[in-house]
Amino acid sequence: MDGAFCRVGGSHPSAVMAGWREDGETLWNRTLQPFGRSGIAVGTSPGDAVGVGPDTRRTAALLHDTGFHAVIASMEPRTDTSATVPLRDPDTVMRLARMGSSHQTRLSFMRALLRSLKRENWRFDRPVWSVDAQGVGHAVYRAIGPRHTYSLVAFAHDLPDDMRSDRVIATAWDATFALFDGTPTEADIARLSANVPRQEAGRISDRELSLSRANRSVRLWSHVVERLAAGEQPDAERIEAVGYLMRTTAVYGSGKFGAADRAVLAGRGVMGAPFHAEMLAVWLIRSFSLDLVEHMARVGGGKSAARIAPPLRRRLGIGNSTGLGMAPFLVNHPALLNAWITARETAIARVRGLPHAPAKARTIFARRLARARENAAGWRSDHPVQIPRIDALRADLARLAAHVEAGALDHAGPWDALVRWSETALSPEGQEQLASLVLEPHGALVDDLVATMAIDESESFPIDGTLPVAALRTLIERHYAWAIAIDHAPAERCARFWYVSEEKLEPRLGRRHDEPGVEREEPLDISRAVCALRDALAGEADDTLLADFLLRRPEHRHVVRRVQIAAQRPYSEIRDNLIDADMLPIDMLRCKLAFFGASRFDPRSDRWVRICLYRDAPFPDELADAPEDDWA
């Protein structure tokens, strides 16, 4: 079919679109005149060919997700790489140590969210500010989109210092929040004021999309208040060292404690993407933390109080403390994990397949590399695992800069060559940082993949019981060789067990051989369970139907489901023993937090990590005029 075509839809008088030639080689952009109202654009030569190529779903996603005017207009002829550079091997990507080296990328949810808010011209205001001289009261921050409005309802409290804790088991906080669906009335705020400050002990409704809380940074808060009250700016070095005025300690969404179920958000455009509602709440909480600190400075300093200078203000993100609660999510959502990793790996592969690095791409890459070096230079941690990793990253980035300076991007297939070079030249931290950096100049080529990161997990849930047992054995051998290779018999290979505590339902990790509760273990011992399934199948006839096996042996049902999911989704499993004595839960936390867009990972133990979110990001009142997605 020489005359490729694409249905562009909508009422645009013309559409700028990406297209693939039928041989799948070249990605073009052209301005097309749709024919009539149906919007079918037709091209008859490679230069005109658009739309339907080897991957029509990708074309559709581009059109649907990006509002094609802005994005595709900047695209240059490229090679579509999906067929030429394979995705990285799951045996490399899905190891815990590798996942624990994850960095934020263009696809991270915070960045994708701010891109969408900007493109859709969202407006922001603060219709309510009712906070007294003690810093107690409430405020409302609105995000007003083309179809929906969401409001952060913030409650500020006067918390004695000795009650401040980031743990889930805390019962009071400096500030508490709900993200409301629409503009809240006074009655809504009254209802929320009776419940939101109590967090898990209260109850919200499906008018709310998230429930969260934050504590002040003891290191920074008073210092900033005092300096501003005296009409002075806070110390820049102290701001650099901490990076935030408040840190959130939990952000609940997805139907928890009465909040709207994820299905409520499914048809809500930008908010339908994973964790976008939670990330919106956190972004608005950042604004609240700045407003509150300046309010307290005005209380102390009156009219002579200063406001934080814009450059310093930008350096303040919002902190977050995360414990084990986040880790089981990645294991309990295998198809979703696969979607996230596949999106990232597909983006990397597309870039690696590009034939050349044009000047503009080099400039952007160099700028983002310099920013990554600056970020690594300021990254602090006292954790014995993380300190050498950060040191290695700094050395890696210096080596990378020198390599690029020496002409690494001058040759054909430059991005692929660079990634290949990193596999032996850099540490995993450096390799993953590079994998993120190569995406930076190529938003037009990869940003559409965000649309693939929200999936309907129920579609992967049914078990195909018509499979003969022999076929299941083959799937296990093929996709779980990493699990079969583990001998779980030694005590240290099954030293841990995951459980949920009675205390606020906090997920925890116990010592199997000397802590009570192992009979209530959560099913996160994937490698061991796969081995048990394999042993059970060994006693079955080859042609036994899986349905018959499962009727007799239902204790293997959850693992059979995982195997069938993994057979179709190569990045669905973390390929390590999650009950091993040496397993580091922070590796799982970091992977998920990197998908959120976090930076400055600072482990406080093997199962507890502090991060910074939205550092350097524009504030709501700056978003419209800020360059698109040029802050991370």
Partner 1 sequence: MPVVTLAEIDATARKAARGHGCPWGLAEEAGKSARWLASHGLPGAEALADMLRERAQCCTVSGSPCALRLCAAMADRVGMSGEEPVGGDMAGHPLLVLAQMGRTADALDRSFALEWEEGSATVSRHAVSIGGTFAASSMVCSPTADTGGECIPLPGSRPVEERAWVALRDLSHRTLVPASAASRTGAGAGTSDND
CB of 136 to partner 1, least distance (A): 20
Q: What is the spatial distance between Cα 239 and Cα 313, in angstroms, rounded to a whole number?
A: 9
- Nearer Cβ to partner 1, position 503 or 630? 503
- Nearer Cβ to partner 1, position 156 or 559? 559
CB of 612 to partner 1, least distance (A): 15
- Nearer Cβ to partner 1, position 128 or 593? 593
CB of 592 to partner 1, least distance (A): 17
CB of 219 to partner 1, least distance (A): 5
Both tokens assigned to 199: 């967090």
Please name which of 9, 104, 26, 111 lies closest in space to residue 62, comparing C-alpha atoms: 9
SS (H, E, C) 260-326: CCHHHHCCCHHHHCCCHHHHHHHHHHHHHHHHHHHHHHHHHHHHHCCCCCHHHHHHCEEEEEECHHH
Query: Hey, is 42 helix, strand or coil?
Result: strand
- Are 559 and 479 in contact by the 8 Å Cβ rule? The answer is no
CB of 522 to partner 1, least distance (A): 8
Q: What is the spatial distance between Cα 190 and Cα 95, in angstroms, rounded to a whole number?
A: 48
- Nearer Cβ to partner 1, position 78 or 268? 268
- Are 210 and 284 in contact by the 8 Å Cβ rule? The answer is no
- Nearer Cβ to partner 1, position 116 or 217? 217
Query: Angle, to 10 degrees, between the axis of helix 276-301 and the axis of helix 221-229?
Result: 40
- Nearer Cβ to partner 1, position 39 or 272? 272
Both tokens assigned to 148: 């929906």
- Nearer Cβ to partner 1, position 122 or 150? 150
CB of 586 to partner 1, least distance (A): 11
Query: Hey, is 534 helix, strand or coil?
Result: helix
- Nearer Cβ to partner 1, position 266 or 402? 266
- Nearer Cβ to partner 1, position 190 or 547? 547
- Nearer Cβ to partner 1, position 402 or 518? 518
Find residue 285's DSSP bridge partners.
none
Nearest-10 Cα torsion for 197, 198, 202, 204? 20
Q: What is the spatial distance between Cα 165 and Cα 174, in angstroms, rounded to a whole number?
A: 10
- Are 187 and 148 in contact by the 8 Å Cβ rule? The answer is no
Q: Which residues bind partner 1 (CB under 8 A)?
A: 161, 164-169, 205-206, 215, 217-219, 254-256, 258-264, 266, 321, 323-324, 382, 458-466, 499-503, 505-506, 508-510, 515-517, 520, 523, 545-547, 550-551, 554-561, 604-608
Cα 191 versus chain centre, distance: 31
DSSP 158-202: ---GGG---STT----SEEEEEEES---HHHHHHHHTTGGGGGGS
Q: What is the spatial distance between Cα 484 and Cα 530, in angstroms, rounded to a whole number?
A: 8
- Nearer Cβ to partner 1, position 267 or 311? 267
Both tokens assigned to 456: 């309907």
CB of 317 to partner 1, least distance (A): 17
DSSP 324-363: GGGHHHHHH-HHHHHHHHHHHHHHHHHHHT-S---HHHHH
- Nearer Cβ to partner 1, position 307 or 520? 520
- Are 589 and 66 in contact by the 8 Å Cβ rule? The answer is no
Both tokens assigned to 181: 């669906």
Q: Which residues does 499 contact at the CB level (< 8 Å), separation at least 6?
A: 507, 508, 509, 510, 517, 518, 520, 521, 522
- Are 109 and 132 in contact by the 8 Å Cβ rule? The answer is no
- Nearer Cβ to partner 1, position 102 or 460? 460
CB of 562 to partner 1, least distance (A): 9
CB of 159 to partner 1, least distance (A): 10
CB of 527 to partner 1, least distance (A): 16
- Nearer Cβ to partner 1, position 497 or 614? 497
Q: What is the spatial distance between Cα 453 and Cα 461, in angstroms, rounded to a whole number?
A: 17
CB of 94 to partner 1, least distance (A): 22
CB of 462 to partner 1, least distance (A): 5
Output the CA–CA distances (angstroms, integers) from residue 259 to 198, 207, 492, 524, in the order listed.
Answer: 14, 7, 40, 26
Q: What is the spatial distance between Cα 617 and Cα 356, in angstroms, rounded to a whole number?
A: 31
CB of 323 to partner 1, least distance (A): 6
> Where do we find the tokens 């999936």?
455
- Nearer Cβ to partner 1, position 382 or 625? 382
Query: How many CA atoms lie less than 13 Å away from 220 in the CB half-sphere?
Result: 25
CB of 384 to partner 1, least distance (A): 10
